[in-house]
Structure 1
Amino acid sequence: MLALFKFFKPYKWFILAILIFTLLQALSNLYLPTLMSDIVDKGIVNNDISYIIKIGIYMLIISVIAAVFSIITSFLSAKTAIGFGRDVRNEMFSRVESFSLQEFDTIGTASIITRTTNDILQVQQVYMMIFRVMITAPMMCIGGIVMALSKDKMLSLVVIVAMPILFVIIWSIGKRGMPLFRAIQKRLDRMNLVLRERLTGIRVVRAFNRSDHEEKRFEKANHDLAASAIKVNKIMAMMMPSMMLILNLATIAIVWFGSIRIDHGHMQVGDLMAFIQYAMQIMFSLIMLSMMFVMVPRASASATRIQEVLTTEPSIIEDGAVEAEQPISRKEGITFQKVTFNYPGAEKPALADITFTARPGEVTAIIGGTGSGKSTLLKLIERFYDYQEGQITIGGREITQWPLKQLRSQIGYVPQKVALFSGTVNENIKFGKREVSDEEIRHVAQVAQASEFIARMKEGYETYLTQNASNLSGGQKQRLSIARALIRKPAIYLFDDSFSALDYKTDAALRSALVEETKEATMLIVAQRVSTVMHADQIIVLEDGHMVGIGTHEQLLNECSVYKEIVASQIKGEGIA
């Protein structure tokens, strides 16, 4: 948790004010028992009503002042802790934005969401308690001990004996609870993962009638989380009764030995009453600290998980050798030279010894079986991952020399799994480029063969799309995703199996419209259909990560057995000759 203290730097003056007002509040509360002692010993014993009223007014004024200090401290504590939470969330979001896909694969999307929400909230609440309780408690404890000693040193032995017992109880319970709090956070990750998969895949679950199976998965994850939470709460539940038992026994001992001291004339009744109040303040300070020990272990586990994200360095590092303002040349395409890439932990390369050149103004198509490395190849161009061997050049320069923002601003990418956002059709197309006119939006929609179905919508381009555009068909989503890429007018187009949900007529019309729209750009198309790639200027055939053929449709039919098998498997359905 200490590593996160750097986020409190902007709030140093608030923290200083909290310390000052907390000290003033503690002094006010510590002075009240002494005044009460004076009322008993000087006012009640001497039957001095005016003295009782005067001291009572002092006590009332001091109580009001202490209450005001408490309110100010609570306000500043909340403001500081909530500001801390906001700043950490911003920092985490910025850090996650810089991650490559490798970091997402390692940490996990569900875990990142949990860390950004639940974990930060846990730490934020503990820091708020630290400012309100953990700072106050030591001041009250130390002040109470000093004041108790000033009243009667011999009677203070009761408190001195009770305190180590309380510390042992707090330490032993905290030691048993810490590992369980870490386990709770991991089980919370698991439950969030199962819930996220269930909700995002609800259509598939219902289509395959697997609701019962998913309910059992969630019940198990929920049961594991609940079991861990119950176990740790059983342990923590022992703390408060144990503390109260020691507190009450100490009170009995104080009254017992205090009465003996009064009987022998070593102290007065008022001093005993004040001593009891100071003893209570000391004990309650320790109880407040024990409450922190319930929260700190879990917050500490959350802080470790937060720090893990904040200290994770992205595996994709910018070289910075090229000026950010220098555009990618449209006269030079993309060259792969003996490129090999391994996913972390994989037994064999996803791509091995890949060599080809995709030229501007030409269409380079990539075809192959499932798992042959087609989508991986496009991810390397986007620098979602970095290759281990070989070289990729874009615009005549090594890809690692381009700043990521500059590189990706010149790429129009249509992913295999369409990702649209909640908002209007207009907003989703403008996601590719914010400053565009309505005419440009309608033009790219027409090229993407989307204008017809958009026109049939009740509100046209202002139609609101739900999360991931669940109110659109697969083909409609793909066409909007293509329009979003076209609006950028980039130097490079990457289509990752982006025509799979289209019928043959729409597919042909879209590819025909793209020819004119992308005539100066470098285009790479990944596809499963031979009809989609057969008219490309060059076709790359992949099998198990290796390039087994490159050439035109006619050349590959004569020279590449793998391509001939693919064509033969589709020839009846598509009428390919």
Structure 2
Amino acid sequence: MKKIISFYLKPYYKRMGIGFAVKFTGSIMDLCIPWVLAYVIDNVIPMKSLQKIYLWGGVMIFCSFVAVAFNIIANRMASKVASEATQIIRHDLFAKTMYLSARQTDAFTKPSLISRLTTDTYNVNQMIGRIQRLGVRAPILLIGGIIFTMALDPVLASILLLVMPVLALVMAAVSRKGMPLYRKLQETADKFVCLVREDIAGIRVIKALSKMDYEKDKFDRVNTMVVTCERNAEQTMAVLNPAMNILLNLGLVGVILAGAYRVNAGTSEVGKILAFMTYFTIILNAMMSISRMFVIINKAVASGARIEQVLDCEEDMVRIFGDESGVKAGKGQCGEIVFDHVTFSYNKNEPNLNDISFCVNKGEMLGVIGATGSGKTTLAALLMRLMDVDQGRILIHGQDIRSIEKKELQKKFGVVFQNDIIFEDSIFENVRMGRELSREDVRKALGYAQADEFTREKERNEGAMLDIKGANLSGGQKQRILIARALAAKPDILILDDSSSALDYRTDAKLRKQLKEHFRNTTTIMIAQRISSVMHADHILVLEDGEMIGYGTHEELIEQCQVYKEISRSQTGEAVV
């Protein structure tokens, strides 16, 4: 919470200060009303002067009006500050999430990041708003009530003061126990979001395999964990209200008994006793508000720590300059893309890619083929610098990609990922993706991707809006729109990661023809499972368990690489010579 208070709330300190002053004035007016009432009962009424009664009644009405008006103004100011500050926090958190590396995203997990952007920012919003409303008003009423009661009758006030240390100890003990419980609740909520997200995304598979009962059992287990954690946290914090009620009511009983004795003895007056009871009620409500504040603060502190954990996450892929990269552009390096003894491991124990070296010249196509888990997608991720290599280096135009500014590097690529996403938006926006592309550019890209015909028909019949994840498209239609997205900006390097698996052979052949005719100067990395997608590439890289076991043309690999030969035979039926 330190960063949220010292950085994000700093621009609002002045407005918060004005709001505190307004709230302070309104609260003081609330405290003045019982005092005036006591004065009227004990001093004005015995005078039997209607004029003075009307005068002091007017004073009470004025105090009430000022209290209501100032509290409303202060609450509106507090809500505005809370909403604006939370908006900035949420914006920065989202921006930071967008720039996290793949390793950092996996470490936080996507459900946890979603929870931080939603539930945690909401808790912080509640804290900022409530601290300006109840956080100012309640202490003023509490302290002011004690001061006014001391001024009215020090003897009766001392009874109240005896209760206060006990209340403070109870609040401190409950809060110390409650805060870890709210942290645990947030962690459990992350698991809950993760399960719901997976089940909703995979609902078709669940139904197809008739696993609804199995998933319901999993959901019940996680849901029970969330309910248990929430119940433990709420039950712990729920001790506050009854404990405070008991202690304050015991104090009130003592005040009434002592007050009755003092009135009977002539050392106190009825008006003071009535005012004292009103102040006692004000103090009780103030303490209740403070106890609710402790619950909100406990939640917000746990949520704020989770938000700051993301905001303070340091960049783990730093740009290197000059000789740090160990690269001298253009000397002894061939091709537009060069992998120079690249090794990478996700867990930093066993390599997922081991000592990979190859080069691809500008305008050439590199086909990458291999079994599932052989490292094909990892290779593409390293080339785009979604992750950094552990050993070796990757060069583009003779320059280490770690020395290229990220936005400049990303502009070089057009990419279709293996599990890519269609957004709930128009076909045009799904292809354009916020880039400076005209409708003509988008239309051409759809034509190159063999998507022009069905998208035109869709625009005529159903409109051009797509459902989230492209639910209203077939698998082949989704892939063609994704390919159009990659082609639209005419990238220097095109990466197609298993992007034609749902295309029929005829459409796949037309797509490759369009790439050859209209993207001659684009270097293409074609990752595929089908031999037919890569057999016409200038070079083909064969991967197995992260190892490079073959590199060459289709004809060369048929002769030299047994694994490639077996894949070719199984898919094309060619006899092994």
Amino acid at match of 1:379: A
Q: Quote the residue 2:396 is aligned against.
A: 394
Deviations 1:239-290 (Å, cap 9, x if unpaired)? Answer: 2222122222211111111222223332222222223333333333222111
1:486 aligns with 2:487: yes
**Which whole-Å CA distance do the structure 1 matches of 2:443 and 2:148 have between them?**
80
Q: 1:13 to 1:88 in 2, by over 3 A?
A: same
**Which whole-Å CA distance do the structure 1 matches of 2:61 and 2:2 have between them?**
40
How much does 1:437 deviate? 3.6
Amino acid at match of 1:468: K
Q: Quote the residue 1:384 is aligned against.
A: 386
Q: Quote the residue 1:354 is aligned against.
A: 356
Q: 1:442 to 1:34 in 2, by over 3 A?
A: closer
Amino acid at match of 2:168: F
Q: Quote the residue 1:425 is aligned against.
A: 427
Equivalent residues of 1:432, 1:487 under 8 A apart: no
- Residues 427-466 of structure 1 aligned to structure 2 (within 5 Å): 427-431=429-433, 433-438=435-440, 440-457=441-458, 459=460, 462-466=463-467
Equivalent residues of 2:569, 2:575 under 8 A apart: no
**Which whole-Å CA distance do the structure 1 matches of 2:535 and 2:30 have between them?**
86
**Which whole-Å CA distance do the structure 1 matches of 2:135 and 2:418 have between them?**
53
**Which whole-Å CA distance do the structure 2 matches of 1:126 and 1:442 have between them?**
49
**Which whole-Å CA distance do the structure 1 matches of 2:157 and 2:509 have between them?**
92
Q: 1:46 to 1:355 in 2, by over 3 A?
A: same
Equivalent residues of 2:437, 2:489 under 8 A apart: no
Which residue, out of 341, 345, 348, partners 1:342?
Answer: 345
Equivalent residues of 1:567, 1:576 under 8 A apart: no
Amino acid at match of 1:413: V
Give structure 2 stretches of 5+ with no counterpart: 324-328
SS of the aligned residue for 2:316 comes to coil
**Which whole-Å CA distance do the structure 2 matches of 1:238 and 1:55 have between them?**
42
Q: Quote the residue 1:524 is aligned against.
A: 525
**Which whole-Å CA distance do the structure 1 matches of 2:348 and 2:399 have between them?**
29
Deviates more, 1:35-44 or 1:141-150: 141-150
Equivalent residues of 2:443, 2:452 under 8 A apart: yes
SS of the aligned residue for 1:96 comes to helix
Q: Quote the residue 1:325 is aligned against.
A: none
**Which whole-Å CA distance do the structure 2 matches of 1:457 and 1:133 have between them?**
55
Q: Quote the residue 2:273 is aligned against.
A: 272
How much does 1:36 deviate? 0.8
**Which whole-Å CA distance do the structure 2 matches of 1:100 and 1:535 have between them?**
34
Equivalent residues of 2:425, 2:465 under 8 A apart: yes
**Which whole-Å CA distance do the structure 2 matches of 1:152 and 1:160 have between them?**
12
- Residues 25-40 of structure 1 aligned to structure 2 (within 5 Å): 25-40=26-41
Q: Quote the residue 1:182 is aligned against.
A: 183
Q: Quote the residue 2:125 is aligned against.
A: 124
Equivalent residues of 1:426, 1:462 under 8 A apart: no
Amino acid at match of 1:411: F
Equivalent residues of 2:179, 2:299 under 8 A apart: yes
Q: TM-score, normalised by structure 2?
A: 0.94
Deviations 1:326-356 (Å, cap 9, x if unpaired)? Answer: xx99x9510011011111x253111111110
**Which whole-Å CA distance do the structure 1 matches of 2:210 and 2:2 have between them?**
49
Q: Quote the residue 2:288 is aligned against.
A: 287
Deviates more, 1:231-240 or 1:422-431: 231-240
**Which whole-Å CA distance do the structure 1 matches of 2:576 and 2:422 have between them?**
33
Q: Quote the residue 2:560 is aligned against.
A: 559
Amino acid at match of 1:229: E
How much does 1:576 deviate? 9.9
Q: Quote the residue 1:143 is aligned against.
A: 144
Q: Quote the residue 1:92 is aligned against.
A: 93
Equivalent residues of 1:366, 1:541 under 8 A apart: yes
Equivalent residues of 1:432, 1:485 under 8 A apart: no
What root-mean-square deviation, in Å, do the aligned CA atoms of Structure 1 and Structure 2 show? 2.1
Amino acid at match of 2:422: L
Q: Quote the residue 2:326 is aligned against.
A: none
Deviations 1:486-527 (Å, cap 9, x if unpaired)? Answer: 111111111111111111111112111211122112111111
Q: Quote the residue 2:172 is aligned against.
A: 171
Q: 1:451 to 1:190 in 2, by over 3 A?
A: same
Task: Provide the aligned length of Structure 1 versus Structure 2.
Answer: 568
Equivalent residues of 2:40, 2:53 under 8 A apart: yes
**Which whole-Å CA distance do the structure 2 matches of 1:83 and 1:427 have between them?**
29
**Which whole-Å CA distance do the structure 2 matches of 1:146 and 1:455 have between them?**
77
Amino acid at match of 2:281: M
**Which whole-Å CA distance do the structure 2 matches of 1:517 and 1:393 have between them?**
25
1:333 aligns with 2:336: yes
**Which whole-Å CA distance do the structure 1 matches of 2:29 and 2:220 have between them?**
52
How much does 1:551 deviate? 0.8
Amino acid at match of 2:3: A
Equivalent residues of 2:565, 2:576 under 8 A apart: no
SS of the aligned residue for 1:418 comes to coil
**Which whole-Å CA distance do the structure 2 matches of 1:117 and 1:28 have between them?**
38
Deviates more, 1:351-360 or 1:222-231: 222-231
**Which whole-Å CA distance do the structure 1 matches of 2:75 and 2:406 have between them?**
45
Deviates more, 1:557-566 or 1:272-281: 272-281
Q: Quote the residue 2:3 is aligned against.
A: 3
How much does 1:571 deviate? 3.0
- Residues 188-199 of structure 1 aligned to structure 2 (within 5 Å): 188-199=189-200
Deviations 1:200-237 (Å, cap 9, x if unpaired)? Answer: 11111111111111111222221211122223222333
How much does 1:470 deviate? 1.0
Q: Quote the residue 2:546 is aligned against.
A: 545
Q: Quote the residue 1:414 is aligned against.
A: 416
SS of the aligned residue for 2:362 comes to coil
Deviates more, 1:397-406 or 1:269-278: 269-278
How much does 1:156 deviate? 1.7
How much does 1:458 deviate? 5.0
Deviations 1:531-565 (Å, cap 9, x if unpaired)? Answer: 11111111111111111111111111111122122
Deviates more, 1:456-465 or 1:509-518: 456-465
SS of the aligned residue for 2:9 comes to helix
**Which whole-Å CA distance do the structure 2 matches of 1:479 and 1:299 have between them?**
45
**Which whole-Å CA distance do the structure 2 matches of 1:464 and 1:282 have between them?**
58
**Which whole-Å CA distance do the structure 2 matches of 1:411 and 1:507 have between them?**
21
Deviates more, 1:561-570 or 1:112-121: 561-570
Deviations 1:140-199 (Å, cap 9, x if unpaired)? Answer: 222222222222222221011111121122222222322221121112111111111111
**Which whole-Å CA distance do the structure 2 matches of 1:190 and 1:426 have between them?**
36
Q: 1:413 to 1:123 in 2, by over 3 A?
A: same
Equivalent residues of 2:184, 2:229 under 8 A apart: yes
Amino acid at match of 1:3: K
